[in-house]
Amino acid sequence: MNKLASVTALREQFLAGTTTPTAAVEAALALIAAEDADVHAFLDVYADDARAAAVVATAAYAQGGDVPPLCGIPVAIKNNILIKGKRATAGSKMLAQYIASYDATVIERLRAAGAIFIGATNMDEFAMGGSTENSAFGVTRNPLARTRVPGGSSGGSAAAVAMGAVPVAIGTDTGGSIRQPASYCGLVGYKPTYGAVSRSGLIAMGSSLDQAGPLTHTVTDAKLVHTIMAGRDPLDATSHDLPVTGYTAGESLTFGIPRAFLKDGIDPDVMAHFEAHCAALKAAGHTIVDIALPLFEQGLAAYYIVMPAEVSSNLARYDGMRYGLSVPGDDLLAVYEQTRAQGFGPEVKRRILLGTYVLSSGYYDAYYKKAELVRQKMREELAQVFCSVDIILTPTAPTPAFRLGEQADPLSMYRQDIFTVPVNLTGIPALSFPMGEVTRGDDVLPVGVQYSAPLGADTRLLDIGMYVYDHRLAA
């Protein structure tokens, strides 16, 4: 079965005429037909639309001239991103039949760049989770080890790329949902600076945390796709343009390691790869220093207060009146109660309850306000650290992909987010890419390293990622 190469390689083949968008779309559909009954990366496949778009794209290359950068490239989209006329389920029974009435800004921009949408990918319900086991439509399997999870919540997007159906998929990241599945599936995953990408048309989870970003095979591809999606959008007041400051290969960098943060609960094989990665950077002439980020250890606790608070207010709109599911009842209250009881799964309910609790009078000061204060202090702590280091290095996740059903206790699942959530709380950009593989029985499992950079330093971070990963300095 023909797996699709990187975006850049496929584009070169289109330009050289060695393959066509029609052939690429047929390869994607054939792979999905062969593999997806087992993997279940996709909730919907847009075969007819994709074939029609491929005919137009194939003609554009045949004609020559200026062909837009993603022309004919098959892309998979997490199903919490609106595509006009398509289902946007967010992995929930609540929105199982909900049809989007407009395109998200990221979709508009990808479409304008010529991307072909192959299908919608599975996800944890409303992006809550780290394994894609919380989807109302069944689990997704890790294409590299089928008894294991692909990570989450953008697990379907990661699986779609890892199985070779598409060279790029779009995910969203509220606390690690692009980076952690990238780590589990051997991919590049990128969470931009908060506000770098418009959230218009994204089904909100935590509005002060959510960002959309790419999952790809190379950092070059991630940069290309991110650059197309990024930039100020009048439909999202928090969006803005970022300065473009790059990195020139050869410039010596300082990497900071928050040693105290890397102690408990990290798989020893993950740690061994991390140490080897640091050693390779050092051997290439870069400086590795220990840094102290004491407040980062509070990140997980602060996240699991701030995020549910935002979840509880964002999900109040699913009342049986305005969107999606509506379960009839004797009176209005009964409609609300029954719609929400039947429409939401257990993890979503847990977070709504927790969020409502921390926002209620009497507890607001004790929990929500304190968590926001920790968040502010974390930002200050970071600004200080970034005066002397270029990049903060950690593993992306403490373990490789776990088995389906293995993390039944929600708290142990939450601990997978320890390195990723501080990034969303502080708004900084972070990139995950593979740093090695570990063996568990018959399974060979990739593990990722996370590079975090100062607010707005997205171009520089991506350039550094290209230098280290795409050019195989250390991986």
Give the footprint of ligand GLN on this chain (CB under 6 A). Answer: 127-130, 153, 173-177, 205, 307, 417
Q: Minimum distance from CB of 303 to ligand GLN (Å)?
A: 7
Distance CA 359, CA 312 (A): 9
Q: Minimum distance from CB of 39 to ligand GLN (Å)?
A: 20
| Structural tokens at position 454 | 């100062």
Respond yes or no: is residue 78 known to be catalytic. Answer: yes
Q: Looking at beta carbons only, is 177 or 218 nearer to ligand GLN?
A: 177
Q: Looking at beta carbons only, is 220 or 407 nearer to ligand GLN?
A: 407
3-state secondary structure the chain: CCCCCCHHHHHHHHHHCCCCHHHHHHHHHHHHHHHHHHHCCEEEECHHHHHHHHHHHHHHHHHCCCCCCCCCCEEEEECCECCCCCECCCCCHHHCCCECCCCCHHHHHHHHCCCEEEEEECCCHHHCCCCCCCCCCCCCCECCECCECCCCCCHHHHHHHHCCCCCEEEEEECCCCCHHHHHHHCCEEEECCCCCECCCCECCCCCCCCEEEEEECCHHHHHHHHHHHECCECCECCCCCCCCCCCCCCCCCEEEECHHHCCCCCCHHHHHHHHHHHHHHHHCCCEEEECCCHHHHHHHHHHHHHHHHHHHHHHHHCCCCCCCCCCCCCCHHHHHHHHHHHHCCHHHHHHHHHHHHHHCCCCHHHHHHHHHHHHHHHHHHHHHHCCCCCEEEEECCCCCCCECCCCCCHHHHHHHHCCCHHHHHHCCCEEEEEEEEEEECCEEEEEEEEEECCCCCHHHHHHHHHHHHHCCCCC
Neighbours of 85 (CB within 10 A): 12
Q: Minimum distance from CB of 417 to ligand GLN (Å)?
A: 5
Q: Minimum distance from CB of 222 to ligand GLN (Å)?
A: 17
Q: Report which of 143, 141, 134 is spatially closest to residue 164, judged by C-alpha positions.
A: 143
Cα–Cα distances in Å, from 13 out to 6, 57, 177, 226? 11, 13, 31, 22
Neighbours of 170 (CB within 10 A): 28
Respond yes or no: is residue 239 known to be catalytic. Answer: no
Catalytic residue among 6, 78, 200, 452: 78
Q: Minimum distance from CB of 52 to ligand GLN (Å)?
A: 32
Q: Minimum distance from CB of 352 to ligand GLN (Å)?
A: 13
Q: Minimum distance from CB of 416 to ligand GLN (Å)?
A: 7
Strand duo 430-440 + 116-121: pairing: unpaired
Q: Looking at beta carbons only, is 58 or 153 nearer to ligand GLN?
A: 153
In the bound state, the residue with its beta carbon closest to ligand GLN is 177
Respond yes or no: is residue 370 known to be catalytic. Answer: no
Q: Looking at beta carbons only, is 154 or 339 nearer to ligand GLN?
A: 154
Q: Looking at beta carbons only, is 109 or 191 nearer to ligand GLN?
A: 191
| Structural tokens at position 387 | 């005066």
Q: Minimum distance from CB of 53 to ligand GLN (Å)?
A: 29
Q: Looking at beta carbons only, is 123 or 168 nearer to ligand GLN?
A: 123
Catalytic residue among 131, 153, 157, 183: 153
* Edge-to-edge strand ranges of the sheet holding 287-290: 42-45, 116-121, 74-78, 168-173, 211-216, 188-191, 430-440, 443-452, 391-395, 254-257, 287-290
Catalytic residue among 135, 154, 177, 200: 177
Q: Minimum distance from CB of 306 to ligand GLN (Å)?
A: 11
Q: Looking at beta carbons only, is 204 or 253 nearer to ligand GLN?
A: 204
Catalytic residue set: 78, 153, 177
